């Protein structure tokens, strides 16, 4: 057939680049929070994440997702999940680089900040496989509630060896952890849990019940909640017992999810499954609180990574595509959209890395208090903003972005997940109200952090004064209620207040550490006006500098 056209005006694929080195905001954040960290591993991971080979792994793992195998060919119950080889390549890389547990195995200076930077880099490639990685990271501090239980599992969970497959723990080189908290009648209200836990002796119990969401059911061990005689309690549930027998954990079906398709999520039946108590009876929520905090941090990191990947794709496309006689990136309207998206991404990265650094300084009262208030704020705001930002970035590619091969639909399907996982928006907003009513040290830590930028931008100072007045009125209101009231600032305004506090925290970080063009544009668009549709920036901003900073360079 005679050729009808020559292909022109199509951007080259965004491959062969260093995902870490191309992200100026992340490179600078690592310099602030982990100045002594070796950069070689971050650059190596970034180069792998930007390679064509690894991008093929991501596509294959997503398109050929997990398959549940309940029985073997003889009819024996096996309850296993089979994955494409590319899933295992992604997992092996994440574990080898310590994304699952390096800070617990080697708790040196800035260990959590470095791990967060790696998470931000590798998540941009394929987000779904970071679910079991994240839960393993979060499980370790919870297991440390009981030194004896931790001693049995922590060496395996912190190992840098990826060793998939259901076998007795003692025979494995490494293990991964999951969780199964929620049930169909309760959802986020874990106290509505109906799974029963009957003592079996020696700190072991038999669990009977149905878990509506079991994340990463192929993992080796799970933290679960169940009703013991003394109330809601946390348990450590192995998939395979020490004698090699399969525990009574039945995988009923895998969830058919909107996104996160490379990862398995299951409904499970516990038919008298053996589990070890973790912490005291009746203290289940208190026992897993550190796990909740760690997974919330990873939700923020994951959303920040999705934002950055979307911005990289959009700016790369605009830098190499022409329309109406000029490059898209030179169009004033397009540049405003790209700059606005870049602001969202940079602010998310700065906040996520700041909170990761607070984990490294957990013994510092200010840092501990800042993490307490900062995590629900960031979890609410960054995760809530991500779906709209990814949709706008997809639109920058036009029809090309709507086609599966571009990779943008996979980002778009993934974008809502982190806002839902580990407590959706309302849960985070209500948690903020609890902080305001009960934890003045956390409120003071937020104010100290924001006031570090005071005097450098009038808009920030004005917004801080307005929100401080709201907070002071809320504290007085809360004082007129019974102890433990969440009435501070009004439940109906909790989302508004969470957004305001999160944006001010982001603004403070950018005013102090980002280039003037970035800080000026963020304050002008997020503090001077109600920020709505992306691209509706005020006039007079240096959008070209912002877009140039956010655009990956050709390898």
Q: What is the pLDDT of residues 310-340, one digit of tens each?
A: 999 999 999 999 999 899 999 999 999 999 9
pLDDT for the residue 477: 46
Q: What is the largest CA-CA distance in the chain?
A: 82
Q: Is the pLDDT of residue 407 over 60?
A: yes
Mean pLDDT of 358-379: 96
Q: What band does 491 get if pLDDT is binned at 50, 70 and 90? A: confident
- DSSP bridge partners of 205: 199, 275
Task: Write a three-state SS string for 106-119.
Answer: CCCCCHHHHHHHHH
- Condensed to tens digits (0 to 9), the pLDDT of residues 60-101 reads 999 999 999 999 999 999 999 999 999 999 999 999 999 999
Q: Which of the 8 DSSP states describes residue 246?
A: B
> Do the beta carbons of residue 208 and residue 224 sit within 8 Å?
no
Residues 6+ apart with CB under 8 A from 465: none
Dihedrals phi, psi of 272, to nearest 5 degrees: 80, 35
- Angstrom CA distances, 53 to 59, 235, 286, 431, stand at 10, 40, 43, 42
- 205/48 Cα distance (integer angstroms): 44
- 310/401 Cα distance (integer angstroms): 10
pLDDT for the residue 192: 75
Residues 6+ apart with CB under 8 A from 441: 365, 369
- Residue 88: closest CA among 126, 124, 121: 126
Range scoring the smallest mean pLDDT among 37-51, 281-295, 460-474, 525-539: 525-539
- Condensed to tens digits (0 to 9), the pLDDT of residues 43-57 reads 999 999 999 999 999
Range scoring the smallest mean pLDDT among 172-176, 448-452, 533-537: 533-537
Dihedrals phi, psi of 465, to nearest 5 degrees: -65, -40
Q: What is the residue whose two structure tokens read 């440390």?
A: 144
- Residue 285: closest CA among 232, 249, 323, 355: 232
- 413/398 Cα distance (integer angstroms): 17
Q: Is the pLDDT of residue 307 over 60?
A: yes
pLDDT for the residue 530: 57
Q: What band does 554 get if pLDDT is binned at 50, 70 and 90? A: confident
Q: Is the pLDDT of residue 487 over 90?
A: no
- 521/303 Cα distance (integer angstroms): 22
| pTM score, whole prediction | 0.94
- Residue 58: closest CA among 315, 260, 329, 308: 260
- 552/24 Cα distance (integer angstroms): 9
- Angstrom CA distances, 279 to 143, 283, 437, stand at 9, 7, 27
Q: Is the pLDDT of residue 476 over 50?
A: no
Indicate the average pLDDT of the chain. 93
Q: Is the pLDDT of residue 481 over 60?
A: no
Q: Contacts from 550-553 at CB under 8 Å and sequence distance 24+?
A: 550/24, 550/311, 550/312, 550/315, 550/338, 550/339, 550/341, 550/342, 550/345, 550/346, 551/312, 551/315, 551/316, 551/318, 551/319, 551/329, 552/14, 552/17, 552/22, 552/312, 552/315, 552/316, 553/17, 553/22
DSSP codes of every residue in 311-375: HHHHHHHHHH-EETTEEGGGSHHHHHHHHHHHHHHHHHHHHHHHHHHHHHTTTSHHHHHHHHHHH
Range scoring the smallest mean pLDDT among 352-361, 467-476, 510-519: 467-476
- Condensed to tens digits (0 to 9), the pLDDT of residues 122-166 reads 999 999 999 999 999 999 999 999 999 999 999 999 999 999 999
H helices then E strands: how many in the chain?
21, 11
- Condensed to tens digits (0 to 9), the pLDDT of residues 246-273 reads 999 999 999 999 999 999 999 999 999 9
Q: What is the residue whose two structure tokens read 């039946």?
A: 269
In this structure, the strands spanning 204-215 and 221-228 are unpaired
SS3 of the chain: helix, strand, coil, percent, to 5: 55, 15, 30
Q: What band does 5 get if pLDDT is binned at 50, 70 and 90? A: confident
Q: Is the pLDDT of residue 375 over 50?
A: yes
């Amino acid at each position: 057939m005679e050729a009808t056209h020559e292909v022109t005006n199509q951007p080259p694929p965004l491959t062969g680049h260093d995902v870490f080195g191309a992200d100026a905001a992340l490179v600078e954040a690592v310099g602030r929070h982990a100045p002594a960290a070796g950069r070689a591993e971050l650059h190596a991971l970034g180069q792998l994440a930007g390679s064509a080979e690894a991008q093929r792994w991501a596509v294959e793992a997503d398109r050929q997702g997990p398959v549940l195998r309940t029985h073997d060919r003889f009819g024996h119950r096996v309850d296993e999940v089979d994955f494409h080889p590319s899933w295992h390549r992604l997992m092996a890389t994440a574990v080898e680089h310590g994304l699952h547990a390096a800070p617990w195995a080697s708790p040196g200076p800035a260990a959590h900040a470095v791990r967060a930077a790696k998470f931000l880099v590798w998540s941009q490639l394929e987000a779904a496989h970071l679910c079991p990685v994240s839960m393993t990271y979060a499980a370790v501090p919870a297991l440390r509630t009981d030194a004896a239980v931790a001693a049995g599992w922590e060496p395996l969970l912190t190992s840098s060896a990826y060793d998939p497959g259901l076998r007795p723990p003692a025979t494995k080189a490494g293990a991964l952890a999951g969780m199964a908290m929620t049930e169909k009648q309760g959802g986020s209200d874990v106290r509505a849990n109906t799974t029963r836990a009957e003592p079996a002796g020696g700190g072991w119990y038999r669990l009977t019940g149905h878990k509506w969401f079991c994340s990463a059911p192929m993992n080796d061990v799970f933290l679960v909640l169940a009703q013991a005689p003394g109330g809601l309690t946390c348990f450590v549930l192995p998939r395979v017992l020490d004698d090699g027998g399969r525990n009574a954990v039945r995988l009923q079906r895998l969830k058919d999810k909107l996104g996160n398709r490379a990862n398995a999520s299951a409904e499970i039946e516990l038919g008298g499954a053996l589990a070890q108590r973790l912490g005291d009876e009746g203290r289940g929520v208190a026992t897993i609180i550190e796990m909740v905090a760690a997974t919330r941090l990873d939700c923020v990191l994951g959303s920040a990574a999705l934002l950055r990947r979307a911005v990289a794709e959009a700016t790369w496309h605009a830098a190499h595509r022409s329309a109406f006689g000029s490059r898209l990136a030179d169009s004033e309207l397009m540049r405003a959209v790209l700059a606005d998206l870049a602001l969202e991404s940079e602010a998310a990265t700065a906040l996520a890395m700041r909170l990761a650094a607070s984990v490294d300084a957990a013994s510092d009262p200010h840092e501990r208090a800042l993490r307490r208030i900062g995590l629900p704020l960031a979890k609410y705001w960054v995760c809530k903003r991500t779906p709209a930002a990814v949709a706008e970035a997809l639109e920058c590619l036009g029809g090309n972005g709507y086609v599966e091969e571009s990779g943008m639909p996979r980002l778009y399907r993934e974008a809502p997940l982190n806002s839902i996982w580990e407590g959706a928006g309302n849960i985070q907003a209500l948690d903020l109200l609890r902080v305001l009513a009960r934890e003045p040290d956390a409120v003071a830590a937020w104010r100290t952090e924001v006031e570090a930028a005071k005097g450098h931008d009038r808009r920030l100072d004005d917004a801080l004064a307005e929100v401080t007045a709201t907070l002071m009125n809320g504290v007085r209101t809360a004082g007129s209620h019974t102890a433990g009231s969440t009435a501070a600032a009004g439940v109906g305004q909790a989302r508004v207040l969470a957004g305001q506090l999160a944006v001010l925290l982001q603004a403070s970080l950018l005013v102090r550490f980002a280039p003037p063009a970035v800080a000026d544009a963020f304050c002008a668009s997020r503090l001077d006006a109600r920020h709505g549709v992306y691209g509706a920036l005020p006039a007079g901003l240096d959008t070209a500098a912002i877009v140039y900073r956010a655009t990956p360079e050709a390898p």
